[in-house]
């Protein structure tokens, strides 16, 4: 569960077997925007200038730990997939990481994946972001408390990031500055988790850049499997949401239940046709 200080939020969401909310308790009102900008060291303009109202609020690094030039990195991008992850699923080679890695390889230009760590240990963050095919939100944004550092050290952030449910004093600037050249306060990792109602990891959120809309939250992983990946991405590239859950989704989510139900229906059908000629005892004797 999330715990909040005046300038720091710690959060550690669980995997799909456990969940915690990113809700925040009441806290001190944010400093004035002008004071924050005077006290903070602004990043290079290439890291915050972009016409998209969401991308300009993010501070990202690549797999080599270098700051991301927004216009260059997202030049041909139509979709941004926000991948909320943690060390709980970092070694799941057959699960989300493998599926997302395949997405990055197959769509290196039109689709960009941005990893949003919900860990509280920097070592886990580095393991999930170094030499990976995705971009990631910066670690030093006030989202995680380091118990080995004094509060004053933690508060000396490079910028004043918005935390959890902080009011957004720069929203009017974003709405009026269509070119995206003005500096506005960036979103922290915990703010992104709060913004997209993330309750567990892994969670995938699909953002359509041309329409500036969130198309899907909590994307089901089966939509990224090899036989369905192209179909899913094609739907999202058109700016459409995923279709409702169907029997194929059910089969992917509960394969053994689906197989058991199919076998039961087959057995009942044979009983209706053949009567006492077939029974579970006869079938059992054939295999023992």
- Indicate whether 158 and 281 sit together in one domain: no
What pLDDT is recorded for position 28?
Answer: 42
* Residue 49: φ, ψ to 5°: -95, 115
- Regarding whether 255 and 195 lie in a shared domain, the answer is no
Is 220 inside a domain boundary? Answer: yes
> 116: alpha, beta or left, given left = phi > 0 and alpha = psi -120 to 50?
beta
Are 231 and 101 in the same domain?
Answer: yes
Same domain? 142 vs 114: yes
Which of 238, 261, 276 terminates a domain? The answer is 238
Query: What are the φ/ψ torsions at residue 126 (nearest 5 degrees)?
Result: -65, -40
Two structure tokens written together for 28: 């001190």
Q: Report yes or no on 136 lying in a domain.
A: yes
131 and 257 housed in the same domain: no
> Could you tell me the sign of the dihedral formed by the alpha carbons of 255, 260, 265, 267, in that order?
positive
User: If the chain, 288 residues long, is cut into consecutive pieces of 10 residues, what is the mean pLDDT of each piece?
Assistant: 43 50 40 44 93 98 96 97 86 75 96 96 93 96 73 65 93 96 96 95 96 95 90 96 66 61 73 68 64
Pair 213, 283 in one domain:
no
pLDDT at 29: 40
Q: How far apart are the first and last CA of the chain?
A: 52
Q: Is residue 50 part of a domain?
A: yes
- Do 74 and 207 share a domain, yes or no? yes
Measured between alpha carbons, how far is residue 276 from residues 136, 155, 266, 267, 269 in Å? 63, 77, 15, 12, 12
Range of the structural domain that residue 223 is part of: 45-238
Helix 226-237 with 96-106: angle, nearest 10 deg? 60
Do 92 and 176 sit in the same domain of this protein? yes
Cα distances (Å, whole numbers) of residue 262 to 88, 251, 265 = 34, 11, 5
Q: For position 136, what pLDDT does the model report?
A: 98
pTM listed for this prediction = 0.75
Given this model, what pLDDT does residue 262 score? 72
- 73 lies in some domain: yes
Same domain for 92 and 214, yes or no, is yes
184 occurs within a structural domain: yes
Q: Is residue 261 part of a domain?
A: yes
Structure tokens that stand for 242 in this block: 């995923």
d(CA 100, CA 221): 9
Domain shared by 134 and 265, yes or no: no
Of 133, 24, 22, give the one whose Cα is nearest residue 73: 133
Residue 20 domain flag = no
Determine the pLDDT at residue 89. Answer: 63
Total structural domains in the chain? 2
In-domain check, residue 276: yes
């Amino acid at each position: 569960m999330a715990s909040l200080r005046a300038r720091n939020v710690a959060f550690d969401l669980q995997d799909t077997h456990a969940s915690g909310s990113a809700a925040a308790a009441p806290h001190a009102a944010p400093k004035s925007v002008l004071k924050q900008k005077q006290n903070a060291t602004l990043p290079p303009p290439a890291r915050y200038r972009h016409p998209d109202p969401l991308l300009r609020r993010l501070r990202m690094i690549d797999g080599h730990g270098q700051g991301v030039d927004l216009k260059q990195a997202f030049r041909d991008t139509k979709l941004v997939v926000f991948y909320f992850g943690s060390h709980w699923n970092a070694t799941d080679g057959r699960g989300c990481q493998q599926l997302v890695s395949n997405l990055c390889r197959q769509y290196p230009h039109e689709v960009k994946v941005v990893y949003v760590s919900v860990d509280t240990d920097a070592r886990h963050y580095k393991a999930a972001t170094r030499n990976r095919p995705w971009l990631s939100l910066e670690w030093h944004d006030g989202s995680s408390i380091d118990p080995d550092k004094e509060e004053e050290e933690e508060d000396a952030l490079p910028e004043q990031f918005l935390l959890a449910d902080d009011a957004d004093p720069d929203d009017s600037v974003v709405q009026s500055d269509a070119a995206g050249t003005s500096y506005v306060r960036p979103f922290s990792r915990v703010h992104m988790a709060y913004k997209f109602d993330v309750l567990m990891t892994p969670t995938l959120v699909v953002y359509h850049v041309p329409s500036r809309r969130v198309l899907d939250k909590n994307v089901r992983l089966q939509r990224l499997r090899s036989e369905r990946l192209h179909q899913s991405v094609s739907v999202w590239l058109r700016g459409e949401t995923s279709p409702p859950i169907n029997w194929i989704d059910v089969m992917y989510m509960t394969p053994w239940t689906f197989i058991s139900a199919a076998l039961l229906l087959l057995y009942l059908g044979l009983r209706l046709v053949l009567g006492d000629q077939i029974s579970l005892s006869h079938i059992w004797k054939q295999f023992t």
